[in-house]
Amino acid sequence: MTAEPRVTDQAPGAATSGLVLVGEPGVGKYAVAARRRLELLSEASTRIGTTLDVSRTARELAEMAVPRLADYVTIDLPEAVLRGDEPTDPRKDLHRTVVHGIREDCPFYPAGERVDLKPTTPQLRCLTSGETVLEPDLRSATGWISQDPARAQRLLAHEVHSLITVPLLARGIVLGIASFYRARDPAPFGDDDRSLAQELATRAAICVDNARRYTREHSMVLALQHSLLPHGFPEQNAVEVAHRYMPAESGVGGDWFDVIPLSGTRVALVVGDVVGHGLHAAATMGRLRTAARNFAELDLPPDEVLFHLDNLVGRLDREECGDDPAAGNTGIIGATCLYAIYDPTSQRCAMARAGHPPPALVRPDGTVAFPDLPAGPPLGLGGLPFETAEFPLPEGSQLVLYTDGLIEDRHRDFDTALEQLRRALAHPNRPPEETCEAVVRAVVPEHPADDIALLVARTHALDPQRIATWELPADPALVSTVRGSVTRRLADWGLTEAGFAVELLLSELVTNAIRYGTGPIGVRLLYDRTLTCEVSDRSSTAPHLRHAATTDEGGRGLFLVAQLSQAWGTRYTAEGKVIWAECALEVPGGRPGAAGEPLAEVSFDDIPAI
């Protein structure tokens, strides 16, 4: 037996430390090589797979191998893997994903280029068999040279002489191929090098597969969320809107927004945020947005809309958690929401929020304020009230609604973010699109950790000359007087052709209010994209549409209203209720583009028993 000691340099009198190897001659060299391989594998466990990005994970494998195992590494992945899908045939549609080495001028196929491999190449043999292929001497590797003889000669001129190709294999699926090249060391790759390359590639393949599956889920969630967010808003004249949605870098959340036209030319603006990220948050966002639209159709005030959303979130949470809290189902956890209603006839805005950041209000002169709204609890807690605040919103004001991802960032103070937002908004007479761009440039973090939804609405007022109101006591004899006043006002607006149908519609609504409601009776006409007829009274009794029998003497009033209008309904106020009906116009409010037929073409044959 011989000993091969290796002792570090020592100062006189210092303690001796080092590594003493005992065995056959040359054992020290093999032991050191084995130790270095173990160190490389150990380091690879922490340095490969630091992100859930497929391309970045592949590059980490190459950076790990150069220069300790190879001088150059190329990695080719199918396009399907880069998209997050599982490849059906890894030999097709390969793309050069990574080129990394000790020099940048080595003439490999560049990254991003499609790679069409010939059947005789080591890489394609590796993909076909699913096993590692070792080419110790590329000068005699005819299959490798035949792929591109001119490029092969240039690589050989750069002293590249040995190759190991390893399949990236995870869960029995080949995800791509890694090629390790040697140049500086004249010794060819050996079996130990092949084993090391295979072990590195195996670990990297698991990380690539995790990143691929995450990419697929992330793409699915992002597609789902985009499908659930509004792609366009219904035509309305109350506000001019612009919006932005920016997903977080680390995952897709449940931020959402909406613009919902309401009766009486009003409009609802909604923004919300579901706690959490991923498919569950996106799906819950879609459910809440749909529910908010349904509650808006009931013409409820903001605090009541939030009350119903709160009940819904609580019920969904209980359904998903089940009766067993220990089952591990976390449910929705919570959501926030801000709901605002703007009325262009009064230029006032009513608003309530449930744990959501307050909006920014930009006055026409460019001054910025953050209204002090009652905060309200987040949705889903239950048992706590919401409050509606109302304030004037002059024409030309901008209401800026956003989610907390815009102003909450762990690298920035909250007050600093609010001040940045204030400065970005402090510009008068700026279109909403330009406001969105300014906010994105000045306030959005460089790497958002949370989703960001931004909705900017610039208000418009309905011209008082397009509003007509009358008030009368509950006297049936005055119905004809109202009809005459309405006819004259329609003539002033150039809507004479609509006169007959509107007179008939208002007669039915006023008669119903006198018969079943409580006076005084209010009548209002609004001339916008549609002609809206409103009749109000002090009663809260809800009207019901029914189908009258042939022998019935009454009961056809609301049926007639439904036939004459494109939409009708009831909303309740603090004083009573308002029954409204919208009539389509060919060129509503002087602006083309609204759907619907002229009022004069209503077919009265559809109305039974008249």
Look at residue 246 and tell me whether its pLDDT is greater than 80: yes
**Taken in order 586, 587, 592, 593, is the CA torsion positive or negative?**
negative
pLDDT tens for each residue of 158-167: 999 999 999 9
pLDDT reported for residue 322: 62
Look at residue 377 and tell me whether its pLDDT is greater than 80: yes
Look at residue 327 and tell me whether its pLDDT is greater than 60: no
The structural domains of the chain, with segments of one domain joined by +, span: 1-6+17-47, 50-217, 229-459, 464-606
SS3 call for 467: strand
What are residue 239's DSSP bridge partners?
Answer: 459
What are residue 254's DSSP bridge partners?
Answer: 274
Look at residue 356 and tell me whether its pLDDT is greater than 80: yes
Residue 338: CB partners within 8 Å, gap ≥ 6?
270, 271, 272, 351, 352, 353, 354, 356, 357, 358, 359, 401
Mean pLDDT for the chain overall: 84
What does the block give as tokens for 298? Answer: 């009931």
Cα–Cα distances in angstroms (integers) from residue 332 to residues 131, 254, 403, 500, in the given order: 46, 11, 18, 53
pLDDT reported for residue 365: 92
pLDDT tens for each residue of 292-319: 999 999 999 999 999 999 999 888 888 7
- Please calculate the CA angle 175-141-30 and round it to the nearest 5 degrees: 75
Q: How far apart are CA 522 and CA 502, in angstroms?
A: 16
Q: Which CATH superfamily includes the segment(s) 50-217?
A: GAF domain (3.30.450.40)
pLDDT-derived band at 505, boundaries 50, 70, 90 = confident
pLDDT-derived band at 8, boundaries 50, 70, 90 = very low
Phi and psi of 469, rounded to 5°? Answer: -130, 145
Q: How far apart are CA 405 and CA 457, in angstroms?
A: 19
Q: How far apart are CA 542 and CA 524, in angstroms?
A: 19
pLDDT-derived band at 483, boundaries 50, 70, 90 = confident
Bridge-based pairing of strands 452-459 and 398-402 is: antiparallel
* Identity of residue 39: E
* Identity of residue 519: G
pLDDT-derived band at 196, boundaries 50, 70, 90 = very high
What does the block give as tokens for 452? Answer: 């960001």
Phi and psi of 3, rounded to 5°? Answer: -115, 140
**Taken in order 387, 388, 392, 396, is the CA torsion positive or negative?**
positive
Look at residue 3 and tell me whether its pLDDT is greater than 70: no
Residue 302: CB partners within 8 Å, gap ≥ 6?
339, 340, 341, 350, 351, 352, 386, 388
Q: How far apart are CA 152 and CA 108, in angstroms?
A: 9
**Within 10 Å of residue 435's Cβ, how many Cβ atoms?**
22
Q: In what helix (H) or strand (E) does residue 314 lie, and over which residues does it extend?
A: helix 302-321
pLDDT reported for residue 199: 94
Look at residue 532 and tell me whether its pLDDT is greater than 70: yes
Look at residue 574 and tell me whether its pLDDT is greater than 90: no
The secondary structure of 249-304, three-state, reads: CCCCEEEEEEEEECCCCCEEEEEEEEEEECHHHHHHHHHHHHHHHHHHHCCCCHHH
Average pLDDT over residues 375-400: 92
pLDDT reported for residue 564: 83
pLDDT tens for each residue of 516-531: 888 789 999 999 999 9
SS3 call for 49: coil
pTM assigned to the model: 0.73
pLDDT tens for each residue of 12-47: 444 445 555 555 666 667 777 778 888 888 898 899
Look at residue 596 and tell me whether its pLDDT is greater than 70: no
Look at residue 601 and tell me whether its pLDDT is greater than 60: no
CA torsion 426-429-431-437 (nearest 10°) is -20
Residue 549: CB partners within 8 Å, gap ≥ 6?
609
- CB of 577 closer than 8 Å to CB of 585: no
Bond before 432 cis per omega within 30 degrees: no
**Taken in order 559, 565, 568, 573, is the CA torsion positive or negative?**
negative
Maximum mean pLDDT: which of 219-223, 253-257, 448-452, 579-583: 579-583
Average pLDDT over residues 77-87: 91
pLDDT reported for residue 562: 81
Look at residue 473 and tell me whether its pLDDT is greater than 90: no
Asked if CATH classification 3.60.40.10 holds for the domain at 229-459, the reply, yes or no, is yes
**Within 10 Å of residue 215's Cβ, how many Cβ atoms?**
19
Q: Which fold has domain 464-606?
A: Heat Shock Protein 90 (3.30.565)
SS3 call for 358: coil
Average pLDDT over residues 198-203: 94
Q: How far apart are CA 540 and CA 445, in angstroms?
A: 50
Q: With 0-12 CB in 10 A as exposed, 13-18 as middle and 19+ as buried, what is 231? A: exposed
* Least confident among 205-214, 218-227, 578-587: 218-227
pLDDT-derived band at 609, boundaries 50, 70, 90 = very low
Q: How far apart are CA 222 and CA 107, in angstroms?
A: 38
pLDDT reported for residue 325: 52
Look at residue 56 and tell me whether its pLDDT is greater than 90: yes
pLDDT tens for each residue of 165-179: 999 999 889 999 999
What are residue 451's DSSP bridge partners?
Answer: none
**Taken in order 178, 183, 188, 190, is the CA torsion positive or negative?**
negative
pLDDT tens for each residue of 88-116: 888 888 999 999 999 998 899 999 999 99
* Identity of residue 167: P
Residue 87: CB partners within 8 Å, gap ≥ 6?
78, 80, 81, 173, 174, 175
